[in-house]
Structure 1
């Protein structure tokens, strides 16, 4: 079997998930190199992944590593120049969301992708590869709920991770772009239309560090689409019960609801607290299968010379909407796109 030789740059929590999947879960891929600016990340690659080609510098990895493709899982502000550098070096590229932290960066990435039509580029909107979300999209296309006209989305990170979240908040590009980007992508995907107006609010109630960083602990937004459809989004940084994601799509003939309760599994505990179900604790746990599926799709596309469904333009459009949402929150005005 022909295998795609892959290097991973960025060995934070999600970088380790992607690297592990490439090393052990994707049959037609081989993890041949890792780049990390931290000694802990390089040690992990050697110890847990069996990778000897470990680099502290990204450009050095591009120049020296034996690889066909790069998986980029670095700080959001680094994505676009790293995409350009990898494509210009002749590599296929998978990049985690968001595409960039401003539109100018996104346009840089677009131009690089357009210069290299023979290279596969894929953006990591993994929820499209979750079996429940993919099933919902299929049912919409089959007309199961008629014409979809409203999406209601909730996404909350667990309070157990709030201190880690506070550490990167200043460089995260804000709650709506960092945390809400997946919901924004799903709204566009399910409704088949683009946002024309947004109004948003943000607040901090429990952890003032978010306010001090110029961000918000929780946020809500309403969107209007070109085709007249609507959407509502609630995002939060500190859900006490665990990682919580749910999406509802309302149509003229029915409703689809995904993950109404963020259950860890089907077990129920009966004790002094009542009848209780545990919740998933993190996004790698909830979307473990989706992360594998999207990387499998990327590898298959690169080996077969085709392009995936999630494109660089999806990244640009979602970034534009995310920034417009942030502007709407900070100005208190409806922002037209």
Structure 2
């Protein structure tokens, strides 16, 4: 089967993960071009991955590179115009989340996808491809926990990275837009319904620097969905023990818990502190397999001309929900979510 030739835009921490996967870990894909505005990222593509065609201009890569598909792993505010430009250039598109940073941006991407029904667009909600989350969804579909009616999700970044979060806070859009998008997507996915109301709040006890950006180090949000089901999301930036992502799905006949202990591996340590497990330290480490599996799925969709299960509208709705959550947080009031 013909290999899919990729160009990648953005080679930061996550971009490097995707670039390495495309270059060496996916049988039917090859990385033939790379684009970045950061010189040492292009050096990485050239020297570490053997990519000969590197560009500092995205549009130049689209017009000159011999590619079938583009992986967009750039700054969130750049996603939507880059999606539209790639589709209009006849390329299949994989884009990292979020779809956009405004609803107008999301509509731009929607219109581009509609203009090109023959091309594949894939949005990188990678947790749907994590084996544990996939297994949980299979259990739900099989009726093992009855009707799911509540999702409780926790996502807390490590204290070790808090200074970068503080630095990014003034332009992040706030804790919910910055951190909750994956949990929002999982809530919609597991419950099979969109939230119609949200109430959100936040607090800061350790790093008052967040308050200077009108932000917080911890946030919680409660949702009521159209079918009567409920969601509860807890996001934060100060886990002292590592990177903590946990999801609980409660149904009428049982409960599923994914990663109740964010263990690094299955090794237990017996020492002067007792019996313990080390925790996973970052999102690239925790979801390494999911990032590979989602890109493999994208390649498979292209080769089989099959539309992905996650689409551009999932991206728009998650963005709408995140903005409504941020509005509730700022106004300290219950907000109705409009689509």
TM-score of Structure 1 vs Structure 2, range by shorter chain: over 0.9
| Other-structure match for 2:263 | 263
Match of residue 12 from structure 2: 12
Alignment of 1:21-170 (within 5 A): 21-170=21-170
What is the rounded CA distance, in whole Å, between the counterparts of 2:265 and 2:50 in structure 1? Answer: 32
Give the match for residue 305 of structure 1.
Answer: 305
Secondary structure in structure 2 of the residue aligned to 1:81: helix
Q: Which runs of 5+ in 1 are unaligned?
A: none
The normalised TM-score by structure 2 is 0.97
SS of 2:95's equivalent in the other structure is strand
Asked whether the 8 Å contact 1:98–1:178 carries over to 2, the reply is: no
- Following TM superposition, by how much is the alpha carbon of 1:207 offset from its aligned partner in structure 2, in angstroms? 2.1
Q: Are 1:208 and 2:222 an aligned pair?
A: no
Q: Which residue of 1 aligns with 2:278?
A: 278
Deviation at 1:195, TM superposition (A): 0.6
Question: In structure 1, what is the equivalent of residue 231 of structure 2?
Answer: 231
Q: SS of the residue aligned with 1:90?
A: coil
Q: Identify the residue that residue 181 of structure 1 maps to in structure 2.
A: 181
On the 8 A contact 1:76/1:172 being kept in 2, the answer is: no
Partner deviation per Cα, 1:5-34 (whole Å, 9 max, x = no partner): 011101110000000100011110000111
**In 1, Cα distance between equivalents of 2:241 and 2:87:** 42
TM-score, normalised on structure 1?
Answer: 0.98
Structure 1 segments (4+ residues) deviating >6 Å? none
SS at match of 1:310: coil
Mapped to 2, the partners of 1:51 and 1:208 lie a distance apart of 44
Q: By how many angstroms is 1:167 displaced?
A: 3.0
CA distance in 2, matches of 1:214, 1:38: 30
Kindly state the Cα deviation for residue 275 of structure 1 after the two structures are TM-superposed.
Answer: 1.2
Deviations 1:293-323 (A, max 9, x none): 0000001111221111010000000000000
* Distance in 2 between residues matched to 1:296 and 1:151, nearest whole Å: 28
SS of the equivalent of 1:309 reads: coil
Q: Distance in 2 between matches of 1:233 and 1:252?
A: 20
Give the count of matched residue pairs: 337
**Aligned residue in 2 for 1:193:** 193
Structure 1 position 242, deviation (Å)? 0.4
Tell me the distance in 2 between the aligned counterparts of 1:265 and 1:274: 17
The 2-side partners of 1:209 and 1:162 are apart by: 10
Q: Deviations over 1:109-152 (max 9, x none)?
A: 00000000001000000000011101111110111000100000
Secondary structure in 2 matching 1:193: coil
Deviation at 1:271, TM superposition (A): 1.4
Query: What is the alpha-carbon distance in structure 2 between the residues aligned to residue 12 and residue 241 of structure 1?
Result: 25
What secondary structure, in the 3-state scheme, does the structure 2 residue paired with 1:19 have?
A: helix
Is the 8 Å Cα contact of residues 144 and 253 (structure 1) preserved in structure 2? yes
Q: CA–CA distance in 2 between the matches of 1:214 and 1:74?
A: 25
Output one character per residue of 1:150-180: Cα deviation in whole Å (capped at 9) or x when no partner.
Answer: 0000001111122222333333222212211
Please state how far the C-alpha of 1:270 moved relative to its aligned partner.
Answer: 1.4
Match of 1:332 in 2: 332
